């Protein structure tokens, strides 16, 4: 009988310690048995989310780790991270990281394909709406993972639309899938996301009564559904997360009208409020929102012991692996001009003398977790897409037609971060893009998106006030794993 290796674990859409499944991780399960019930499809989908939230993918390398180092946010003493920050991709450590990312990304894709291959065989097993929900999320996952592999391992669209991209794998089998061009991969991503958007039209998150909030508050309804699978829709690739990802992909292709329409669909839904100052600066650390939680459209649930310990090693111990100098952070957040009142600068960084001497360090507190018996107001998550990015997309997509409207979108996020100084004019689009990059770098600190922004725009990578790295494929295109071509049979 055919077998499928699929990782199953805690339901990633829960915020409590209750188990959704009671089966061993990485159990080899008969595919026919798994996919003969709605529950089996739910378990399989949760397994894919769990894999995506692992340290090899969005619980580590693609959020907090390697890609964020490439964004030039830290200063290092160890050789491995220095090499990564200097775009040296030949070392054994980074090759191992890259191989791990590639392998697990395509494992997630393979599990999506097994599910999609089986889901149309007997739709009668699904209760109302769940067939469309499960299939829509799975298509979205397949597209999301492929798009990030494209952004890592292929030239950007603006600099290489017809060049070699990545394999876009949609079938199950022993034969490998040929590499497609960058443009063709984007076509495939958009096809899957567009299909997912249609399937998710009746996503519970679109219900007027669905209100995002902090777990346990009086407004939040994200835990109200008695079906655990339906709770916390923002911990999954929900309808609005798909709209956000469509906006991101269309912008990558410089398709401004479609990028704008998808971004505005999320913004105009008014489902995701900007964080209140009192929540971000809450004196009770058990009630402090450190990541603008209610603004997150979709995210990866990463509250596991492994990820928490990894983040402590990187950011919060006495001599963390990742930290910037105080001067470096002050430069990023423009403390000398508009950034003096920036909430993020005030709350995200703990200034402390380096344990080994040298300049003071600014240690990131964005992912700090209160230790038991203290609690946290929100779960530990890695943002997949957040409200501020959609305002940035709307701003960039609007500028050519209406610069003042574009500036209003840009200023909207700045005001929401405590920056009272408005930008009312810019001389040209190039200057506006430079402003957007500066704001995005502040907003996405510790989230890895800034590297992708530099690459999409084929823009110089800002290192400090006197130094930048000029754009080139040698820094923007990560090398494929050494054995990838050796084992291909196409």
pLDDT digits (tens, 9 = 90+) for 165-176: 999 999 998 888
**What is the arithmetic mean of pLDDT over 269-286?**
96
Q: Which domain holds residue 209?
A: 3-476
**What is the arithmetic mean of pLDDT over 366-389?**
94
**287 assigned to some structural domain:** yes
8 A C-beta contact, residue 151 and residue 455: yes
CB atoms under 10 Å from CB of 51, counted, come to 25
CB atoms under 10 Å from CB of 209, counted, come to 7
Of the pLDDT bands very low, low, confident and very high (cuts 50, 70, 90), residue 355 is low
**59 assigned to some structural domain:** yes
Task: Report phi then psi at 78, rounded to 5.
Answer: -85, 150
**Radius of gyration over every alpha carbon of the chain, rounded to an integer in angstroms:** 22
Helix axes 38-52, 130-153, angle to 10 degrees: 20
**What pTM was estimated for this model as a whole?**
0.92
**56 assigned to some structural domain:** yes
CB atoms under 10 Å from CB of 92, counted, come to 8
pLDDT surpasses 80 at 208: yes
CB atoms under 10 Å from CB of 341, counted, come to 13
Which contacts (CB < 8 Å, 24+ apart) does range 462-470 have?
462/72, 462/437, 463/72, 464/328, 464/331, 465/331, 469/72, 469/87
CATH number for the domain including 363?
A: 1.25.40.390
Vertex 366: Cα angle to 364 and 368 (nearest 5): 90
Round to whole Å and give the CA distance between 361 and 325.
4
**472 assigned to some structural domain:** yes
**486 assigned to some structural domain:** no
**pLDDT tens digits, 114-135:** 999 999 999 999 998 999 999 9
Of the pLDDT bands very low, low, confident and very high (cuts 50, 70, 90), residue 488 is low
pLDDT for position 199: 99
**pLDDT tens digits, 313-326:** 888 766 677 888 89
Of the pLDDT bands very low, low, confident and very high (cuts 50, 70, 90), residue 21 is very low
pLDDT surpasses 50 at 2: no
Vertex 130: Cα angle to 127 and 131 (nearest 5): 100
Round to whole Å and give the CA distance between 286 and 378.
9
pLDDT surpasses 80 at 7: no
pLDDT for position 193: 99
Cis peptide before 373 (omega within 30 of 0): yes
Of the pLDDT bands very low, low, confident and very high (cuts 50, 70, 90), residue 24 is very low
Cα→Cα distances 421→12, 275, 415, 432, Å = 40, 19, 8, 16
8 A C-beta contact, residue 154 and residue 166: yes
**95 assigned to some structural domain:** yes
Question: Is beta strand 164-167 parallel, antiparallel or unpaired with respect to 3-5?
Answer: unpaired
- What is the number of structural domains in the chain? 1
DSSP sequence for 240-261: HHHHHHHHHHHHHTT-HHHHHH
Report the share of the chain in percent with pLDDT over 70: 91
**360 assigned to some structural domain:** yes
Of the pLDDT bands very low, low, confident and very high (cuts 50, 70, 90), residue 228 is confident
pLDDT surpasses 90 at 291: yes
Of the pLDDT bands very low, low, confident and very high (cuts 50, 70, 90), residue 357 is low
**252 assigned to some structural domain:** yes
Mean pLDDT, the chain, as a whole number?
Answer: 90
Round to whole Å and give the CA distance between 222 and 211.
7
Phi-psi region of 292 (alpha: psi -120 to 50; beta: other; left: phi over 0): left
**What is the arithmetic mean of pLDDT over 5-9?**
36
Task: Report phi then psi at 455, rounded to 5.
Answer: -65, -45
pLDDT for position 363: 87
């Amino acid at each position: 009988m055919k077998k499928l290796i699929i990782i199953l674990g805690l339901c990633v859409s829960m915020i409590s310690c209750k188990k959704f499944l009671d089966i061993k991780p990485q159990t080899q399960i008969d595919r026919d048995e798994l996919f003969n019930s709605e529950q089996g499809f739910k378990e399989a989908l949760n397994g894919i989310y769990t894999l995506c939230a692992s340290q090899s993918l969005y619980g580590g390398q693609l959020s907090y780790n390697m890609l964020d180092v490439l964004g030039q946010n830290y200063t290092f003493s160890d050789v491995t991270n220095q090499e990564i920050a200097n775009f040296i991709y030949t070392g054994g450590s980074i090759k191992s990281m890259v191989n791990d990312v590639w392998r697990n990304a395509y494992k997630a894709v393979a599990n999506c394909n097994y599910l999609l291959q089986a889901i149309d065989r007997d739709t009668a097993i699904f209760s109302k709406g769940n067939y469309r929900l499960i299939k829509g999320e799975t298509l979205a996952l397949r597209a999301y993972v492929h798009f990030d592999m494209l952004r890592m391992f292929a030239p950007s669209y603006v600099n290489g639309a017809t060049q070699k991209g990545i394999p876009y794998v949609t079938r199950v089998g022993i034969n490998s899938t040929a590499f497609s061009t960058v443009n063709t991969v984007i076509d495939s991503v958009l096809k899957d996301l567009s299909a997912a958007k249609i399937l998710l039209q009746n996503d519970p998150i679109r219900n007027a009564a669905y209100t995002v909030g902090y777990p346990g508050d009086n407004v939040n309804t994200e835990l109200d559904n008695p079906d655990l699978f339906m709770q916390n829709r923002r911990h999954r690739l929900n309808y609005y997360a798909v709209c956000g990802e469509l906006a991101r992909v269309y912008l990558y292709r410089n398709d401004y009208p479609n990028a704008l329409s998808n971004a505005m669909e999320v913004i105009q839904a008014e489902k995701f409020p900007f964080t209140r100052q009192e929540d971000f600066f809450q004196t009770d650390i058990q009630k402090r929102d450190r990541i603008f939680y209610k603004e997150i459209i979709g995210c990866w649930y990463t509250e596991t012991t492994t990820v928490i310990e990894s983040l402590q090693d990187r950011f919060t111990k006495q001599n963390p692996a990742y930290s910037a100098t105080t001067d470096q952070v002050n430069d990023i957040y423009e403390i000398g001009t508009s950034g003096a009142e920036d909430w993020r600068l005030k709350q995200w960084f703990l200034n402390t003398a380096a344990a080994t001497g040298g300049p003071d360090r600014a240690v990131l507190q964005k992912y700090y977790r209160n230790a038991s018996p203290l609690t946290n107001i929100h779960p530990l998550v890695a943002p997949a897409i957040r409200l501020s990015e959609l305002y940035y997309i709307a701003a960039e997509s609007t500028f050519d037609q209406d610069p003042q409207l574009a500036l209003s979108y840009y200023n909207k996020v700045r005001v929401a971060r405590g920056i009272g100084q408005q930008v009312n004019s810019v001389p040209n689009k190039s200057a506006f893009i430079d402003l957007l990059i500066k704001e995005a770098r502040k907003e996405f600190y510790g989230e890895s998106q800034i590297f992708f922004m530099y690459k999409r725009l084929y823009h110089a990578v800002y290192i400090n006030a006197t130094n930048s790295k000029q754009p080139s494929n040698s820094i923007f295109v990560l090398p494929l794993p050494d054995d990838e071509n050796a084992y291909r049979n196409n």
